[in-house]
Structure 1
Amino acid sequence: MPVIASLRRGAGALMDAVKAVIAALRARWAWFDHLGRAYERYQDRGGDRLAAAMTSYGFLSFFPLLALAYALLGYLVGLSEKARDYLIKAIEELLPGLSGPLEVQRIAESRATIGVFGLVALVFTGLGWVRVLRESLRGVWGYEPAPEGNWFVLKLRDVAVLIFLGTTLVVSVAVSSVASAATQSVLDVFGLADVAGARTMLRLLSLLVAVAFNTLIFLVLFSRLSGTRAPWLRILRGALFGAIGFEALKQVGTLLVAHTTRNPVYASFAVLVGLMVWINIVSRFVLFAAAWTATRRVVLKADDQPDDPADEARPAKHGPAKHRPVENRSVENRPRREHRAEARRTA
């Protein structure tokens, strides 16, 4: 039909114009080109599919982890009422908009039974989540999903990663919560309660503390689970990118989750759906941050991913080829200098 054909031509022309603008921006700004390469890596490695697997295991791991945290802090409530308030605030920061319907007090009162359940269930579901996270990060980097090594040693390593992540998150939230709660007291002690901008500076300091802990988490994830050969100093900028993005994501996540939980279609399942949406958003961002880190030039060089297509025919320097990252060498993903070299050869 003429109308449909006209619409298709218009849509095609619009897409060509958008691609031309994006290509011009990538040629002009290196940081924008890096974002483009990261997006291409994320799509080529099936980032959405990997994030879906992480969401499934993360959703199953969340409730045992939450139950164990409540059980541990349920005992602390008897010693300090502020512990419960800090816990609620921590959940609100990690799960924006979802802490209200979770009935914190009732879970804390059942700390003995829930603690046993949480510990046993966390061992199974938590290790499964770490395994999927490791396979996803290795997939983004281009390595085989399962690393070589003793099965028992790998499980011990996964347990160590799980303990590290849990401890770092708890310490991060605790420090951030204490810093936020102590803002007024600090201002009063130093006589800065009426000074303009003093409260904002303290809040920024609290935010910087959270970013520092998040950077440490991303640094460990990217350097220890991805299989990369790049030293941690070359991974640091990617970890900082992930940490800052995660803090920004938490602010936006409040609106996204609130919109999901208010949807009448989900009814009584709104909290569960909101939780899955949030975990999926975080999982996608973690993998995109991994793609952004993996496509940095210094990381590509450390991982022995050749810039020259002729290098692909050479023997691997660090072992069998199956353990080297396999980079997508399509035309649109080649570095710009490859295009220039090809143009000189055909001229």
Structure 2
Amino acid sequence: MVARITALVAWVQKTRAARVFTRYSEKNGPILAGGLSLTALYSVFAGIFVGFAVLGLFIESDPALKEAVVSTLSTAVPGLIDTGNGGAIDLNALFASRVLNWSSIVALVALLVTALGWFASARSSVRAVFDLGPDKTFFLLAKLKDLGFVIAFAAVTIASAALSVFSTSALNFLFGLLGIDTRSFFALAVARVIGLLLVLVIDTVVLAALFRVLSDIRIPLNRLIPGSLIGGIALGMLKVLGATIIGGAGKNPLLASFAVILGLLVWFGLICQVILIAGTWIFIDMADHGQDAATLARRSGIVPPPRRLRPRSRPVSGGR
């Protein structure tokens, strides 16, 4: 029995999942994810305020787009928007904000500082997981790249909401042609499945781009896509269970007044852990196929190749 248990433990330790979590712990992944979650929380509040201050009037003018944007945000970050069941941000106050005031300017500065800080910390964390040294990119160039990714992420959020509106309209049109009641169980189930698949595709693409940009190496697609897909599936599971996760933080009566903030901290902590674990999976997958991240970095011109020292020539003695 002891021999069987020992053999089972040895087999489990050799599995990829066990090696991923072992390396994740060795690289202080939980600590890194905890630091990232705090910065993410600050960034999201500032980003929501600035985004609705700039685009709030446009979004509010289209009821379908407004519903899609609120639904997208509520799914991505449960407990952030108060839609009647409690939340950190009142929806009416959010749409009442406008861009031309001092609070919007302060929020914009806070957004830039926290978002760029999150990407800098995430870059260091991902590179630590990939066994890469500090990024030697010029400081201003790195910040410009991070700023571009922040803008791209905001665009993806708006695009996903617009895609949700388009897919809902297309499904309703198709159900109408087929004579299917849009409120039937079948129609609602199909809409739910398609919505989850769209979210999975978007999360996978965003994670793949995130690992590619932060690591700054040419990760092979056959290693990058599977790891990002696993991360996307894990993020989707978290989103499905989002209300349960957020609500669990308020069960302690001593913490009830801080339940929303604590729930959001737990949420962002889990999201950041999923990101780093997915990155660790990609690293282990590369190692299993003989692909070294440092070698790929040197091929990309990021890390200079090690210098080869020429052996010193020994003086030849006279007469020998």
TM-score, with structure 2 as normaliser: 0.80
Deviation at 1:318?
Answer: 6.4
Pair 175,156 (structure 1): closer, same or farther in 2 beyond 3 Å: same
1:43 corresponds to which of 25, 35, 57: 25
Superimposed CA distance per residue, residues 241-296 of structure 1 (whole angstroms, 9 cap, x where no aligned partner)? 11111111111232111111343222322211111111001011111111111100
Specify the alignment match of 1:294 in structure 2.
283
Distance 1:60 1:77 in 2: 23
Distance 1:125 1:108 in 2: 23
Pair 168,300 (structure 1): closer, same or farther in 2 beyond 3 Å: farther
Q: Which moved more, 1:67-76 or 1:175-184?
A: 175-184
1:254 aligns with 2:243: yes
In structure 1, what residue type is equivalent to 2:55? L
Distance 1:193 1:78 in 2: 28
Pair 98,78 (structure 1): closer, same or farther in 2 beyond 3 Å: closer
Pair 177,39 (structure 1): closer, same or farther in 2 beyond 3 Å: farther
In structure 2, what residue type is equivalent to 1:84? K
1:34 aligns with 2:19: no
In structure 2, what residue type is equivalent to 1:95? V
Q: Secondary structure at the match of 2:137?
A: coil
Deviation at 1:67?
Answer: 0.4
Does the 8 A contact of 2:126 with 2:215 survive in 1? yes
Distance 1:255 1:149 in 2: 42
Superimposed CA distance per residue, residues 29-60 of structure 1 (whole angstroms, 9 cap, x where no aligned partner)? xxxx1111111110111001110110121122
**Correspondences of 1:184-333 after superposition (within 5 Å):** 184-193=172-181, 197-297=186-286, 301-303=290-292, 319-320=305-306
**Correspondences of 1:106-145 after superposition (within 5 Å):** 106-112=93-99, 113=101, 114-144=103-133
Does the 8 A contact of 2:130 with 2:293 survive in 1? no
**Structure 2 residues not aligned, in runs of 5+:** 296-302, 308-320
Pair 20,73 (structure 1): closer, same or farther in 2 beyond 3 Å: farther
Pair 213,78 (structure 1): closer, same or farther in 2 beyond 3 Å: closer
In structure 1, what residue type is equivalent to 2:78? P
Distance 2:31 2:290 in 1: 27
**Correspondences of 1:23-102 after superposition (within 5 Å):** 23-25=10-12, 33-100=15-82, 101=87, 102=89
Q: Which moved more, 1:146-155 or 1:202-211?
A: 202-211
Superimposed CA distance per residue, residues 115-171 of structure 1 (whole angstroms, 9 cap, x where no aligned partner)? 433322211111001101111111111112x31121111111111121122222332
Deviation at 1:20?
Answer: 5.0
Distance 1:134 1:273 in 2: 25
Specify the alignment match of 2:316 in structure 1.
none
Deviation at 1:200?
Answer: 2.6
Superimposed CA distance per residue, residues 278-332 of structure 1 (whole angstroms, 9 cap, x where no aligned partner)? 10010111111111111004676332679xxxxxxxxxx96149xxxxxxxxxxx
Does the 8 A contact of 2:78 with 2:243 survive in 1? yes
Pair 242,304 (structure 1): closer, same or farther in 2 beyond 3 Å: closer
Deviation at 1:183?
Answer: 4.2
Superimposed CA distance per residue, residues 61-99 of structure 1 (whole angstroms, 9 cap, x where no aligned partner)? 111111012223321145223333222212210112342
1:150 corresponds to which of 135, 138, 142: 138
In structure 2, what residue type is equivalent to 1:155? K
Percent of aligned pairs with the same amino acid: 25
